[in-house]
Amino acid sequence: MRHIISLLMENEAGALSRVAGLFSARGYNIESLTVAPTEDATLSRMTIVTVGSEDVIEQIIKQLNKLIDVVKVLDLTEGSHIERELMLVKVRAAGKEREELKRMADIFRGRIIDVADLTYTIELTGTGTKLDAFLEAIDQSVILETVRTGASGIGRGDRILKV
């Protein structure tokens, strides 16, 4: 099953490699991994999307907790949560295509953030499946480049991951 694991870790050099190394050394899957400092500059927050049986997920969480730099770990998928991913898509947009792409971006609540003579760059946020749906909805041949951040997640309501 797919799990979204959020963790807070000391914002120190090498901390990311400890997490990445743990996953590769123990053969755990990483679907995506995002990391950035939090409002407290000494802490980084990481969101890892992984797939595994309940036993494997239990081990992943235990092993993450064992890393000295990791302060807190939460399996977001255990409760209600919100998941978002950011995607930037550069598409070929010339002539008639320009109108159509603008319309599709609007439908998916995307924004065109760069306009050039022959291209648009569209910004889109949502769950991974929504972003996939957008890519499927537009003409495949116009896609020039895509870049995605991987999922970030946060618990709903009172579910707070904080030190």
Partner 1 sequence: MELTGAEIVTRCLAEEGVEFVFGYPGGAVLNIYDEIFKQSKFKHVLVRHEQAAVHAADAFARASGKVGVALVTSGPGATNAITGIATAYMDSIPVVILSGQVPTAAIGLDAFQEVDAVGITRPCVKHNFLVKDVRELASTIKKAFHIAATGRPGPVLVDIPKDVTYHKTEFAYPDTVSMRSYNPVLKGHSGQIRKAAQMLLEARRPMIYTGGGVVLGNASEQITELAKLLHYPVTNTLMGLGGYPATDRQFLGMLGMHGTYEANMAMQHCDVLLAVGARFDDRVIGNPAHFAREQRRIIHVDVDPSSISKRVKVDVPIVGDVQQVLDELLKLLKASKEKPDEAALNTWWTQIELWRSRNCLKYNRESEIIKPQYVVEKLWEVTRGDAFVTSDVGQHQMWAAQFYKFDKPRRWLNSGGLGTMGVGLPYAMGAQLAHPESTVACITGESSIQMCIQELSTCKQYRMPVKIVNLNNRYMGMVRQWQEFFYGSRYAESYMDSLPDFVKLAEAYGHVGMRIEKTADVEAALKEAFSPAMKERLVFMDFITDQTENVFPMVEGGKGLSEMILAEEL
- Contact residues: partner 1, CB under 8 A: 9-10, 13-14, 17-18, 21, 25, 55, 58-59, 62-63, 65-66, 68-71, 163
CA atoms within 13 A on the CB side of 45: 14
* 12-21, long-range: CB < 8 A, 24+ apart: 12/69, 15/44, 15/69, 16/44, 16/46, 18/67, 18/69, 19/46, 19/48, 19/64, 19/67, 19/70
Taking the complex as a whole, the smallest distance from the CB of residue 154 to partner 1 amounts, in Å, to 21
Taking the complex as a whole, the smallest distance from the CB of residue 48 to partner 1 amounts, in Å, to 17
Taking the complex as a whole, the smallest distance from the CB of residue 60 to partner 1 amounts, in Å, to 10
Comparing CB distances to partner 1, the nearer of 40 and 145 is 40
Comparing CB distances to partner 1, the nearer of 18 and 148 is 18
Q: Which amino acid is at 12?
A: E
Taking the complex as a whole, the smallest distance from the CB of residue 41 to partner 1 amounts, in Å, to 15
Taking the complex as a whole, the smallest distance from the CB of residue 10 to partner 1 amounts, in Å, to 6
Cα(109)–Cα(134) distance, integer angstroms:
10
Comparing CB distances to partner 1, the nearer of 18 and 159 is 18
For 2-101, list the strands marked E by DSSP.
2-10, 32-37, 43-51, 70-75, 81-92
Comparing CB distances to partner 1, the nearer of 21 and 79 is 21
Comparing CB distances to partner 1, the nearer of 64 and 101 is 64
